[in-house]
Chains A and B, each alone.
Chain A
């Protein structure tokens, strides 16, 4: 409690430094939240599109379609299977293109079964389905999904690298800001050393000050992010209906990161100030 009080009075004693410190953390957290949000949303977009990937199976002419469909449903990793009857499709086409009646005098479409599977096991499912007796051909087109996945993965990795760089830069910036305070307190630190203070005793209040400022700055950063998120949903929500706000767990993670950032920044500042002595 004594150290906590000491840290609080230290924050007030070095108001300008504290505001700068908290500001850097708030901005960093804000940017990190945006990055996390982008990564999170890319993940959910990818998941959503993964559900659109289908295996298409073509049964033989005389196959018992409902029986084959039931058999397919039993295959491991298959989520759902729907048979598409040529007659139904033919009726739909006739309605859509009434002027093409002569050409579409009779159905030339084959029967097919659309199968939804776990995207991670699509190839295994395809092999299993092709083993079924009345299945003539099995096709699957994952190229578009693979391209999308590659794109989102690239964006995610770049975002992670940029977020990491921002974190490091923020820690460095904070250490510079705090260094000013350390220089101011150098004589006091020297006296403490002569009185037998251990390095940890001297560093403790600094680290705690960093955690407190991380707590305040982190809170502000998350508040900025949530405000922006709210505004964006109000403005562009109708265009991007899948956009989601970060989860509570993600926000807590960023909050903890902010406090860690404060502690690391101050710890680094102390080490750097110390080396200059």
Chain B
């Protein structure tokens, strides 16, 4: 479960990115976080994966207060999460296979072959044929699929995506949202920040709206 307890995030001395946000996200939830630019969507997601700390309040992920974690503990928490970004954040000097396998390589778990794990997830997404290519040789939609594969390779229970379709055409966007739906059906908690109106209108799950750092409903 992810829980926000009266969370505020202030940048500088008076810019409230989030203002007293309380929110509960249970397992298998598929939540869209929407709002205009600067509403605090990215801040909310960054708080979940511990990229920033709240100014006030607490963010609990799996019962652990993220703001209290540092170093190794934060790294281990991030292993339970898969993060997807608008700009994909792929390593351009490594092949698609190496990019997907990266988290498992980093975790260095005994008796686990990172490339076998990557192969499995890439085959699910029909990306295996691109395994030896470099990210720049793929289209935007394919690059985002590679990024999602990387996020899913370690079988995380939370998938966080920040404007994952921001750089994609409508067709690719639909495909990406279908992947998230599928991930949610398989028991993962999916939190997606977006202002893609089409996706919002088609979404049957929970929608969290933010405006000037506050929840509107």
Contact = CB atoms under 8 A, between A and B. Distances in A.
B89 A197 contact: no
Nearest to B79: A196
B107 interface: yes
Interface in B126-182: 150, 154
B57 interface: no
Contacts of B51: 194
A195 B114 CA distance: 13
Contacts of B102: 191-192, 195
B78 interface: yes
B31 interface: no
Contacts of B108: 201
B139 to A, nearest CB: 20
B7 to A, nearest CB: 21
Interface in A85-118: none
A194 B83 contact: yes
Interface of A: 187-188, 190-199, 201
A247 B173 CA distance: 70
A193 B108 CA distance: 14
Nearest to A200: B72
A104 B78 CA distance: 101
Given A188-B91, A190-B89, A195 B71 contact: no
Interface in B98-135: 102-103, 106-108
Contacts of A197: 75, 106
15 contacts: A188-B91, A192-B102, A194-B89, A195-B102, A195-B103, A196-B78, A196-B79, A196-B103, A196-B154, A197-B75, A197-B106, A198-B75, A199-B71, A199-B72, A201-B106
Nearest to A187: B89
Given A196-B106, A196-B107, A198-B71, A191 B79 contact: no
Nearest to A198: B75
Contacts of A194: 49, 51, 78, 83, 89
A201 B71 CA distance: 11
Contacts of B107: 196
A191 B75 contact: no
Interface in B26-75: 49, 51, 71-72, 75
Contact of B91 (A191, A193, A199): A191
B211 to A, nearest CB: 28
A197 to B, nearest CB: 5
Contacts of B76: 196
Contacts of B154: 196
A150 B89 CA distance: 64
B75 A193 contact: yes
Contacts of A190: 89
A192 B106 contact: yes
A195 B91 contact: no
The 3 closest A-B pairs by CB, nearest first: A196-B79, A195-B103, A196-B78
